[in-house]
Amino acid sequence: VLVTERLVLRVPRESDIEQLVALADNRHVAEMLARMPHPYGEAEARAFLAMTASRRAGIAYALTLAGTETFVGCAGLNTTDRGLELGYWIGEPYWKRGYATEAAHALVDLAFQKTAIQVL
């Protein structure tokens, strides 16, 4: 779990599925991501949870608002042949509030603290 000023970054869980689908099933979100299918339904959400549980490619976090646990998106670090890749998406109702920047700062700090990486 990572905690920032306004966010709690935690492991995605089954109780997130309803909010995950509601926010991810949005063409505006999918258009900005290489690996986000559209439409996005419960099957895609369950596949995402299974993938994050396996940690095959890295680590993913559910982004929730501190104090309310409101799900607002996801962020994570993936291993690539070039090093670590930071990825994120925020549900459209939560855009332009700085949540992506806040989550990215927490993940960059984590990457430099917990890995031998020198450049992200």
At 69-96, the pLDDT tens digits run 999 999 999 888 887 889 999 999 999 9
What is the CATH number for 107? 3.40.630.30
Torsion of CA 101, 105, 110, 111, to 10 degrees: 90
Q: What is the pLDDT of residue 62?
A: 98
User: Whole domain around residue 13: which residue ranges?
Assistant: 2-114
pLDDT at 35: 86
Q: What is the dihedral of CA 84, 6, 100, 74, to 10 degrees?
A: 70
Segment 23-55, tens digit of pLDDT: 999 999 999 998 899 999 999 999 999 999 887
Dist CA 27 CA 39 (whole Å): 8
Q: Is residue 54, in this structure, part of any structural domain at all? A: yes
Is 0.85 topped by the overall pTM? yes
Q: How many domains does the chain have?
A: 1
